[in-house]
Amino acid sequence: MLPLIKTSIPDRKILMPRLEEVLYSGYVAQGEAVELFERKFEGYIGGGHTLSLNSGTAALHIALILAGVKEGDEVISTALTAEPTNVAIKMVGAKIRWADVDYKTGNISVTTIEKVINAKTKAIIVVDYAGIPVDVKGIKALSEKYKIPVIEDAAHALGAKYKGKKAGNHFPFTVYSFQAIKHLTTIDGGALQILDSELYEKGKVIRWFGLDKKLTRMDNNISFQGYKYHMNNVNATIGLVQLENIESVVQSYIDNGKYFDEKLKDVNGVELIEYYQDSEPSYWLYTMKVENREGFIKMMADNGIMASELHKRNDLHSFLNDYPSELPNLDLFYSKMVHIPCGWWVTNEDREKMIDLIKKGW
C-alpha cells in the first residue's frame, strides 16, 4: 500500500555518526546543538527568531501566552485542522470561536473571521492546512484593523511561500511541527518563529520553567509561569542533519503537487483546490474535492494506494466545541475533501498510476 504519509530519515551512514557524537559527548540536554539548529532554521526561513521546542503543541501554547491570551478570553480558529491547534487554546483557559472556511481552499475565511470578532477576541489562529497558505493579505488587513494578533499554524506548511517569502515571515507568531511525519522531523519537536526580539527573549524563559538561562539558578527569580518545553541536543542534531537536505525534500512534495494540479484539471468528479494570489503551497498532503468520497477511497485502496480525509473536523469534539456554529462551507468542503500521497516517497510511476486510476473513475 502506498502510504499517505511517511517518515523521512537521513541515510544511517550520515545520521548515525552525528548521533553517536552527541550521545556520547556527555551533554545531551539543551546546549550548543539546539542553539545551532535554531540559527540554521532561521536561515532557512529567512527571518524572525526561532524558539525550538519539544513539540508543535508547545509552540502553540507559548504563542498564545505571548499573544496575551488568558482564561476567559476567546480565540478565533478553524475546525479543519489537527486537534492540537485547538487543544492548545484550552491549555490557556480560553474558549474557541469557530470561523468557517473558504470553500475554494479549505482554509479559514477572512469574511467569517470578521463576523465572529467580539470584545473577548484576543487572538486569531490561522492554519495552512495540508501545506496550502492562508489568505495572508486579507488576514493581515483584518489583524491591523482590529488590533488582534495572528498565530499562523504552519505545521503542514514548511517551505510554503507568500510573495516569495516562506511562512514564518508574515505574522507575529508562526508555529512549526517537527513530529514524525512532517516535511522535517526531529523525531518529535517543534518551533515557534517570533518576529519581535523582546517576545522571543520572553519565550525562551517560558520554555524553561520561567528561568532565565543567562543567569545562574541562584540569581534567577521566577516571576511568571514557565514550562519544560525545550528541545534537547539529540533532537536538534537530527534536525541539523535534516536541514542539510530540506530544500530537496520539500521540493519533492512541491513537484508532485504541481504535477497533480496539472494532470487532474478538468477530470470528471474532481474539483481542485484554488490557491490565493502570490501564494505557493508546499503540499504536505495533496488535497482535492471528489464526488462519492467513500467510493474514491475504496477504489484507491483496492489499487494499493491510501487516500483519506485524515483529520476529524474539530467541532465534532465536545471538549473543543465551546460555541456550536453553523459552518456551511466546511460542511460542504469536508464532505468532499480527500488527500492522496504527495511526498518524497512517491515515484513518477506512482503518480502516473494515481492519475490513470482517477481518470478511469470510481
Looking at residue 113, its pLDDT comes to 98
Share of residues in the chain with pLDDT > 90 (%): 100
CA nearest to 285, candidates 318, 309, 303: 309
Q: What is the mean pLDDT of residues 6-34?
A: 96
> pLDDT-based confidence at 48, cuts 50/70/90?
very high
Looking at residue 159, its pLDDT comes to 98
Q: What is the mean pLDDT of residues 314-323?
A: 98
Provide the edge-to-edge strand list for the sheet that holds 165-166: 165-166, 161-162, 279-280
Amino acid at 338: V
CA distance 311 to 84: 11
Q: What is the mean pLDDT of residues 166-193?
A: 98
Give me the chain's average pLDDT, please: 97
Looking at residue 241, its pLDDT comes to 98
> pLDDT-based confidence at 146, cuts 50/70/90?
very high
> pLDDT-based confidence at 358, cuts 50/70/90?
very high
Strand residue runs (E) in the chain:
49-53, 74-77, 95-98, 121-127, 150-153, 161-162, 165-166, 173-177, 190-194, 270-272, 279-280, 286-290, 337-340
CA distance 31 to 330: 44
Q: What is the mean pLDDT of residues 334-343?
A: 98
Sorted by where each starts, the structural domains of the chain and their CATH numbers stand as 12-241 (3.40.640.10), 245-360 (3.90.1150.10)
Query: What pairs with residue 175 in β-bridges?
Result: 153, 192
The residues that are catalytic are: 182
